[in-house]
Amino acid sequence: MELKRVVVTGIGTINALGHNVNETWENMIKGVSGAGPITSFDASKFKTRFACEVKNYDPLKYFKKPEARKMDKFTQFALIAAEEAVKDAGFDFDNLDKDRAGVIWASGIGGLQTFKEEIEGYVNNDYTPHFNPFFIPKMIADIAAGHISIKYDFRGPNFATVSACASSAHALIDAFNYIRLGKADVFITGGSEHAVTEAGLGGFNAMRAISTRNDDPKTASRPFDAGRDGFVMGDGGAALILEEYEHAIKRGAEIYAEFAGGGLSADAHHITAPHPEGRGAATVMKNAIEDANLKPEDIDYVNLHGTSTGLGDIAETKAVIKVFGDHAYKLSISSTKSMTGHLLGATGALEAIASILAVKTGQIPPTINHFELDPAIDPKLDFTFNKTKKRNVNAALSNTFGFGGHNASVIFKKFEK
């Protein structure tokens, strides 16, 4: 069977670096940190008191008050990112076959704040069951996909993917496969997360997974640095419009890049820790490169998962060397989580956008907050530390790995007719 080509025709995001793609990319290229003291609740009793929150967020700028009250913030972020991407794609909705237009949207956790508020209300009201009728529809992880589908009347495949921090990369790959198999023409796909909450912060603190560098939050996300002490939580959403090549060409769409391939694997090792030798990480990159009909030396840039955790950063760099061999030292690699924080289920989509823009603009976003390289990490690798690099990027690979050992990698390449 001849597989159809898939291209990217729209992108959108809201995150700690910006409320849209242009603002986000500008700050990435400048090497801006999105971290700061938590403002949405009193974090003074927590071990960590900072995060990469969406700055100056007012839902009433985007939604009417009754509408906003029916949605958890993760769904609000989803609709905001999707709207930017849809406008960017420039659809003529009167001539779009909406039976062949779908939505696959991801969240690693879903409505965590909604769940916390409803249970808290139940307990504080002497266990009297006065639950909000929107409790369940606000909380469930698939509801963002439903809201997007309803808003745009997209009647094709519609569901959510959940694989922790690999969730939105899995969503992209699912949408990619539906299109190249000829089962749909267009997808709105991506992910969103709002886990910077009391429950989210407390849970990750209990795991000792996140940084406690409260005296200097802007430099707390330090991927590959000897002084790293965990990841920095981030909120937001990111959306991509994936489209069948002929469909996009026929309507004269602007094409950012071609979605070349995707890889999947499992560590099959531990619920939260990566395989120490990067076994699953190596497999997923190999699978993505093979799926894209490319060779390792065809890849110019790798957006690393690079969370700033002790075990994860080491395992991923070992995997890069295992997959790319000598070419590993010719690659440009970086972790944009050093700037955006870790958006959990949304991180794959946001880093896909960073990879697409690296292909489109020939600029490698940096890994900021580098002070001293971990001696366990190969110093010959080019991590694009602290400063953006200009480079022709024909193909970029982006990694995402999630608790449970879930791995997904996506590859984008320069578009050629």
- The C-alpha atoms of residue 65 and residue 390 are separated, in whole angstroms, by 44
Which among 19, 194, 275, 342 is annotated as catalytic?
342
130 is catalytic: no
Cα 79 to Cα 188: distance, rounded to the nearest angstrom: 11
Question: Which of the following is catalytic: 147, 170, 305, 370?
Answer: 305
Rounded Cα–Cα distance for residues 200 and 211 (Å): 14
Dist. CA 336–CA 13, nearest whole Å? 14
H/E segment holding residue 122: helix 112-124
Report the distance separating Cα 229 and Cα 389, nearest Å: 26
Q: Please provide the size of the chain in residues.
A: 417
Sign of the torsion formed by the C-alpha atoms of 15, 85, 362 and 296 = positive
Nearest to 316 by CA among 393, 231, 233, 239: 231
The answer to whether 77 and 142 are in contact (CB under 8 A) is: no
Residue type, 397: L
Tokens of 179: 């299109």
- Distance from C-alpha of 12 to C-alpha of 160, rounded to nearest angstrom: 18
Reply yes or no on whether 52 is catalytic: no
What is the residue whose two structure tokens read 């062949």? 100
Strand partners, 411: 261, 397
- Which is nearest to 229 in space by CA: 311, 169, 301? 311
C-alpha dihedral, 130 to 134 to 139 to 143, nearest 10°: 160
Check if 327 is active-site: no
**Under 8 Å CB-to-CB from 417, ≥6 apart: which residues?**
249
What is the set of active-site residues? 165, 305, 342
